[in-house]
């Protein structure tokens, strides 16, 4: 017989979006249940933008601890098209510097705070069925079966979009960017830099644990991804860079880890709210990492989602849930325009499919031409 759990809000996933919603709801006295399957994914050297700072008190994030456990980003260098590299100092940001995160530590801290505030959490759980009318989720955890009942369901499963798949809601894709990531043990180099090259762009930074990450962002149909994708072909391309290469002059294939790949395209769910459900974070909309806004948006919109759910459960009105959807639509439209402006700045490769395809104005994107499914 399955065990029954009753809560107010069931959240699927336990990443930054889920923890932000849980923190907001727990502050208003709701019983929150988080169910996560703990997808095994490698860290890709994500930055937490300083725009997330105003939300730290709700999430109970201690900034001093953040400085000690993660790596502050004081400046960033870029060679974005023609000219010389440009350095931008974090001192000119209104909220100061951001951090290269150790995702495991960061997420554990978020989750510990949420659990301390009363949320129930099931890790390594497998969901077998789900319904939004009424809100129930059946899942198994450590050889036991559970049925959770609630008043509202939230999908925070990142790009997996578990709930939308169940509800047959489409995802709209705006590009096909994939990140190829390699780690290097190189304690001597700590700059954060990006560089535009013919068929994609490079990112290199220190990550916590005396390691560096080097990532190459390119279209999924690029020659590099079609051909041999081992460390040597990664290094051959890397050696054609001008700026990033100068920071790793003696890099050899043997120093590179296995190359890992992650989808990094911009995409948005066609519908992100319903009568008793909503989605937040990457599950609602996923951003190109060039924007460094995935985690901070998961946090800020997670807190907005928590407030909208509170209004729905307290007053029975859907008004704030609809407002939340409109806010996401506007945020994502603005993001697409900024992204297009950023890619259009690179004029050095006028024949390159990568730069042409990514600098289309969002309203004119032709999904067939881009080969986006
Ligand atoms: C290559 C790359 C580089 C990036 N760089 C940056 C950066 O520099 N700065 C930045 O801000 N963002 C960056 N991002 C984006 C950032 O990683 C995401 O925006 C952020 O993790 C979104 O948080 P989330 O809580 O929505 O989802 P996630 O962090 O993806 O969490 C989803 C959670 O749901 C769980 N889950 C998934 N499926 C199920 C299921 N079926 N059942 C139960 N649980 C499930 C997972 O285990 C996970 O815990 C990058 C992304 C990529 C791919």
Residue minimizing CA distance to atom 19 of ligand 1: 294
Distance of CA 37 to CAs 116, 126, 260, 261, Å? 21, 6, 21, 20
For the chain, the maximum distance between any two Cα atoms, rounded to a whole number of angstroms, is: 68
The Cα–Cα gap between 218 and 234 comes to 12
The tens digit of pLDDT for each residue in 294-319 reads 999 999 999 999 999 999 999 999 99
Whole-prediction pTM value?
A: 0.95
The Cα–Cα gap between 18 and 59 comes to 11
Ligand 1 — pocket residues by CB below 6 A? 12-18, 35-39, 44, 46-47, 49, 127, 156-158, 160, 162, 179, 262, 264, 281-283, 289, 292-296, 298
Which ligand 1 atom sits nearest the alpha carbon of residue 281? 26
DSSP 273: B
The tens digit of pLDDT for each residue in 138-188 reads 999 999 999 999 999 999 999 999 999 999 999 999 999 999 999 887 666
The tens digit of pLDDT for each residue in 355-371 reads 999 987 766 655 544 44
The tens digit of pLDDT for each residue in 176-208 reads 999 999 988 766 666 899 999 999 999 999 888
């Amino acid at each position: 017989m399955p065990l029954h759990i009753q809560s107010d809000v069931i959240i699927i996933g336990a990443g930054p979006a889920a923890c932000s919603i849980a923190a907001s709801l727990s502050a208003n006295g709701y019983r929150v249940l988080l169910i996560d399957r703990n997808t095994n994914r490698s860290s890709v050297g994500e930055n937490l933008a300083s725009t997330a700072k105003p939300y730290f008190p709700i999430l109970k994030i201690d900034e001093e601890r953040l400085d000690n456990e993660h790596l502050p980003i004081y400046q960033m260098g870029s060679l974005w098209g023609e000219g010389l590299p440009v350095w931008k100092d974090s001192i000119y940001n209104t909220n100061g510097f951001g951090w290269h995160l150790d995702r495991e530590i960061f997420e554990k801290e978020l989750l510990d705070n949420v659990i301390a505030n009363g949320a129930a959490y099931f890790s390594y759980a497998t969901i077998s069925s789900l319904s939004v009318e009424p809100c129930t989720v059946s899942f198994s955890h450590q050889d036991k079966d559970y049925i959770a009942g609630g008043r509202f369901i939230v999908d925070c499963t990142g790009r997996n979009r578990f709930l939308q798949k169940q509800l047959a809601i489409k995802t709209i894709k705006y590009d096909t960017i994939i990140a190829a990531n390699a780690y290097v043990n190189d304690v001597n180099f700590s700059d954060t830099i990006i560089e535009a090259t013919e068929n994609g762009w490079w990112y290199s930074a220190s990550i916590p644990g005396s390691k560096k990450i080097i990532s190459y962002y390119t279209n999924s149909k690029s020659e590099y991804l079609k051909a041999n994708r081992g460390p040597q072909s990664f290094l051959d391309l890397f050696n054609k860079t001008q700026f990033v290469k100068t920071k790793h002059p003696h890099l050899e294939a043997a120093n590179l880890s296995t190359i890992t790949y992650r989808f990094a395209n911009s995409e948005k769910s066609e519908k992100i709210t319903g009568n008793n459900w909503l989605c937040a974070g990457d599950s609602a909309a996923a951003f190109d990492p060039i924007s460094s806004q995935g985690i901070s948006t998961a946090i800020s919109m997670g807190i907005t989602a928590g407030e909208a759910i509170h209004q729905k459960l307290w007053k029975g009105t859907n008004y704030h849930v609809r407002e939340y959807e409109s806010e996401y639509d506007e945020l994502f439209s603005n993001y697409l325009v900024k992204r297009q402006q950023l890619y259009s700045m690179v004029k050095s490769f006028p024949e390159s499919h990568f730069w042409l395809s990514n600098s289309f104005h969002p309203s004119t994107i032709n999904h067939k031409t881009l080969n986006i499914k």
